[in-house]
Amino acid sequence: MLTFDIDAESCMLAEGRRYAQQPGLMSHQAFGPKVGVPRILRVLRAEDVRATFFVPGLTAERYPDLIRRIIDEGHEVGHHSHSHRAPLELSEGEERLDFERGMEALDRLGIRPRGHRSALWAATWETAAIAVEFGMDYESNMMDNDRPYVLETGGGTIVEVPPHWSWDDFPQYAYLWDPDVGKNVVAPSQALKVWAEELDAMREWGAALVLNAHPFLSGRASRVRAIRDLIRLARDWGDVAVLSASELADRARTDPAIERRNNDPIHVDPNVYPHE
């Protein structure tokens, strides 16, 4: 699965709205929607594969034509919060309000997303239930499998399509001093090696690699090429399907052997773990 989170400016503003006063930083983020996404779309079209773009409401408001174009080109748009603030730092009421604003921003573009990914994967124990409440059919937040599974939230089920850090481009490419998101610039051939070796091994287990790229990082020329090479590698193996998140969720729902889990918060005894 190829997923692209178009965080653009939102993920920096979530660190503090003062960052809006830094045109250099804002331009670093704007590279994603302005240059990265059009390049990625061109590669996806040339390779004839469908991808899933997770879009914060703020990005939908700032770049409506681009988001419409993603849909027009046959790809999927998923919900990715409104503000890109981490749910773990919000109250349940704030998380629900932010979720709703994100839905409204996509709705104004005529988009009804089927799935959700939390900002920074920083879901709370309530997030899955909130996503079901807003009609989501799948989410992509939890790392306790590398195959999709069905999660019972209490208010209904949702398909979890698990991500993982090793399939993300932040550990490879995230480089900024302020805010400090990492000091990483590896050769895209190295990133491709990490992803390709994992994908190759996953074929033994019937697992699902969920590439989680960010156009402001992976939209750079040599990095787009690495994504293209990954797609070609997968196609050459002949036994790898490239699916949108909805397609994968549909397969999971109709698979009689699919794993089913409950959303069980961990309750900790303070006598065992005295430190808050």
Footprint of Zn ion on this chain (CB under 5 A)? Answer: 5, 7
CB of 64 to Zn ion, least distance (A): 19
One-letter amino acid at 23 equals P
CB of 10 to Zn ion, least distance (A): 8
> CB-wise, 188 or 215, nearer to Zn ion?
215
> CB-wise, 29 or 263, nearer to Zn ion?
29
Nearest to residue 73, comparing CAs of 46, 96, 97?
A: 46
**123 touches 161 (CB < 8 A):** no
Cβ neighbours around 133 below 10 Å, total: 15
> CB-wise, 119 or 196, nearer to Zn ion?
119
> CB-wise, 7 or 98, nearer to Zn ion?
7
CB of 241 to Zn ion, least distance (A): 25
Q: What single string gives the DSSP state of each residue in 95-157?
A: HHHHHHHHHHHHHTTT---SEE--GGG---TTHHHHHHHTT-SEE----S-SS-EEEE-SS-E
CB of 118 to Zn ion, least distance (A): 8
> CB-wise, 7 or 9, nearer to Zn ion?
7
Nearest to residue 76, comparing CAs of 249, 220, 239, 217?
A: 249
Q: Round to whole Å and give the CA distance between 13 and 210.
A: 26
Which residue number has the CB closest to Zn ion? 5
